[in-house]
Amino acid sequence: MLLSLEGLSLRYGKHLALDNVSIRVDRGETVVILGANGAGKSSLLKAIAGLVRPDAGLSLQLGSRPIAGLAAHKVLEAGIALVPEGRGVFADLTVEENLRLGAYAQRARAGEARQRDFIFDLFPKLAERRAQQVGTMSGGEQQMVAIGRALMSNPDLLMLDEPSLGLAPVVVGELFQALGRVRDAGVSVLLVEQNVSLSLALASRGYLMEVGRLVGEGSAADLKADPAVQRAFLGLTH
Amino acid sequence: MTLMTALIAGLVLGGTYALAAMGLTLQYGIARIMNLAYGDMIITAAFAAFVLQGAAGINPILGLLIAVPGGFLLGYAVYTVILAPLVARAPNRGVLEVDSILTTFGLLFVVQGILLVLFGSNYTSYTFLNEPVNVLGATIAANRLIALILALGLGITLYLLLTRTRWGTALRAVAVSPQSAQLVGIDINRAAAFAFALGGGLAASAGVVISMYQTFTATGGVVFTMKALIVVIMGGVGNLVGALAAGLILGLVETLVSTYADPGLTLAATYAIFLAVLLWRPQGLFGRAVR
């Protein structure tokens, strides 16, 4: 098992955003977390990444290493990279600088050149635009920068928070194709999405969340056929 | 005074302002601390140069080698002892801003008090290379020329470090987005302490440079804080090139106004161009409208 998370609860003031959530991701696996707006999907990824402080009593392990309570920069160093909702790119800096910062972690330094080649191969547009300021690029291109930056850290687990948000359908299709290649390269992926059909095509397994709780779990095929998933999403997105 | 003399004098003053403002913009842009005691750190370094020159016979150019590391260490100490606890307890940026303004406002009087006890309230100066040199037909004191070269040299070095090295890029990343900086593995608390210390080093260099050609007094810090703050806002917060350009503009305008209009109008001219920039480009000359 690569990531194991048990008993995660998180509060924003009095509001309980996550209620005793437990998930796991196996090595090489792509897992999707489905849920409507406000289900707590983003909070889950932020808690794993160390950006928010969850309640005590949580067990969080990457491989055999406990990583609960680590600061965000240490979680990254341990091997988990997050592409946050809204992309979080350094808009004032160039593509090149964003990627270079992606390899800031010690774990990334040795394989930096190889990882950069992989990313330029994955997103040839980034190679062409390497001197461009990221803030001046389109949403889809910025998402490529965000994913490329996360991959530069040579992560064991890549977490993506709604990468399709606000992008045109054709761009989303290209993006998921690229994510398929990332998966095939052996990177484990934990994905939060509202685009159910595309993400279930990418993932092998998934969880279903509703208002801070896990309400379902299964293989991608099972979830596709699950009436609860159908009701909650497919009817809305088609 | 010929036009060329006025222009060079303006560049000297502007280079000093730029040097001072670059430190403040690092402290505010990266460490997120609005340091109201900044000018007093400048004055402290000016007195340090005065003491080194007078008591130890160390000229101010060598004095930089002592004052700048000293300013760096002092900045680091102030951040870790006084400011880091505020950062740790602040629930958001707004609270930190208020807390740090109040704290550094207090620090201003502590530093000023110590300087008053040690040096009194008289204007102080020392003589260093006060000989005329000829530049492009204009006559200027050698100490001013050295001040300009030092200010530009230090500014350009800093700019290259911040844009051409990985850690420099990392510091700029913290200024652009602290949250994303954490996500690429940057320890933002360490970056903040380092940026604040670097700002202290720059304040010290500005203080030494100023002491070469200006008189200064223990209570004069606040003027430098104001000028540096104006330059930082004009250039865009956290923007080094902006600070450099705005500093030079301010120095030139002040000198031209005092030469060709009336020396009493320099402060008015300062605030007039500050106001004009704020009305025309509130984000600063080089700042971006939306972050």
Q: Residue A225's pLDDT is what?
A: 85
Q: Output the CA torsion sign for B166, B171, B174, B175.
A: negative
From chain A, the residues in CB contact with B291 under 8 A are 91
pLDDT, tens only, A75-103: 999 999 999 998 999 998 999 999 999 99
A228–chain B nearest CA distance, Å:
34
Residue B289 maps to a domain: no
Q: Residue B175's pLDDT is what?
A: 86
- For residue A97, give the chain B residue with the closest CA: B169
User: Are A214 and A6 in contact, with CB atoms under 8 Å apart?
Assistant: no
At A238, the pLDDT band (50, 70, 90 cuts) reads very low
From chain B, the residues in CB contact with A91 under 8 A are 176-177, 288, 291
Residue B73 maps to a domain: yes
Instruction: Please name the residues between 72 and 111 in chain A that touch chain B, using a CB distance below 8 Å.
Output: 72-73, 76-77, 81-82, 84, 88-93, 97, 100-102, 104-106, 108
Whole-angstrom distance, CA of residue A197 vs CA of residue A172: 12
From chain A, the residues in CB contact with B180 under 8 A are 84, 88-90
| CA-based nearest residue to B20, from B212, B233, B273, B199 | B199
pLDDT, tens only, B169-196: 999 899 888 889 999 999 999 999 999 9
From chain B, the residues in CB contact with A154 under 8 A are none
**Does the beta-carbon distance from A84 to B177 stay under 8 Å?**
no
Q: Residue A237's pLDDT is what?
A: 45
pLDDT, tens only, A159-214: 999 999 889 999 999 999 999 999 999 999 999 998 888 999 999 999 999 889 99
pLDDT of A21 > 80? The answer is yes
Domain range for B97 is 3-280
User: Are B30 and B195 in contact, with CB atoms under 8 Å apart?
Assistant: yes
**Does the beta-carbon distance from B179 to A81 stay under 8 Å?**
no
- For residue A151, give the chain B residue with the closest CA: B184
From chain B, the residues in CB contact with A92 under 8 A are 172, 176, 288
Please tell me the total count of domains within chain A.
1
Residue B12 maps to a domain: yes
Q: Which residues contact B60 (CB under 8 A, 6 or more apart)?
A: B49, B52, B53, B128, B208, B209, B211, B212
Domain range for A107 is 3-237
Q: Which of A50, A104, A135 sits opposite B184 (nearest CB)?
A: A104
What is the DSSP track for A110-160? TTHHHHHHHHHHH-HHHHHTTTSBGGGS-HHHHHHHHHHHHHHT--SEEEE
For helices A169-184 and A139-152, what crossing angle results, to 10°? Answer: 10
Q: Residue B1's pLDDT is what?
A: 65
Tokens at B181, concatenated: 């900086």
* CATH code of B41's domain: 1.10.3470
Whole-angstrom distance, CA of residue A205 vs CA of residue A185: 18
**Does the beta-carbon distance from A73 to B186 stay under 8 Å?**
yes
B179 touches chain A (CB under 8 A): yes
**Does the beta-carbon distance from B170 to A101 stay under 8 Å?**
yes
Please tell me the total count of domains within chain B.
1
* CATH code of A128's domain: 3.40.50.300
Judge residue B59's burial from the number of C-beta atoms within 10 Å of its C-beta, 0-12 exposed, 13-18 middle, 19 or more buried: middle
Mean pLDDT of A28-38: 90
Q: How do the pLDDT tens digits run along chain B, 291 residues long?
A: 678 888 888 998 999 999 999 999 999 988 889 999 999 999 999 999 999 988 888 888 888 999 999 999 999 999 999 999 998 888 888 888 899 999 999 999 999 999 999 998 888 888 888 788 887 777 888 888 888 888 889 888 988 998 889 889 999 899 888 889 999 999 999 999 999 999 999 999 999 999 988 899 999 999 899 999 999 988 888 788 888 889 999 999 999 998 888 888 888 888 888 888 888 887 777 765 443
A49 touches chain B (CB under 8 A): yes
Residue B285 maps to a domain: no
Mean pLDDT of A39-56: 92
Instruction: Please name the residues between 172 and 191 in chain A that touch chain B, using a CB distance below 8 Å.
Output: none
Whole-angstrom distance, CA of residue A170 vs CA of residue A179: 14
Q: Which residues contact B26 (CB under 8 A, 6 or more apart)?
A: B171, B195, B196, B198, B199, B202, B238, B240
Residue, of A3 and B92, whose pLDDT is higher: A3
pLDDT, tens only, A204-214: 999 999 889 99
A112 touches chain B (CB under 8 A): no
Q: Which of A82, A100, A106 sits opposite B183 (nearest CB)?
A: A82
What is the DSSP track for A151-212? HHT--SEEEEE-TTTT--HHHHHHHHHHHHHHHHTT-EEEEEES-HHHHHHH-SEEEEEETT
Instruction: Provide the b/e sequence for A5-36 (b: ≥16 CB within 10 Å).
Output: beebbbbeeeebbbeebebbbeeebbbbbbbe
From chain A, the residues in CB contact with B177 under 8 A are 88, 90-91
pLDDT, tens only, A130-163: 999 999 999 999 999 999 999 999 999 999 999 9
**Does the beta-carbon distance from A84 to B183 stay under 8 Å?**
yes
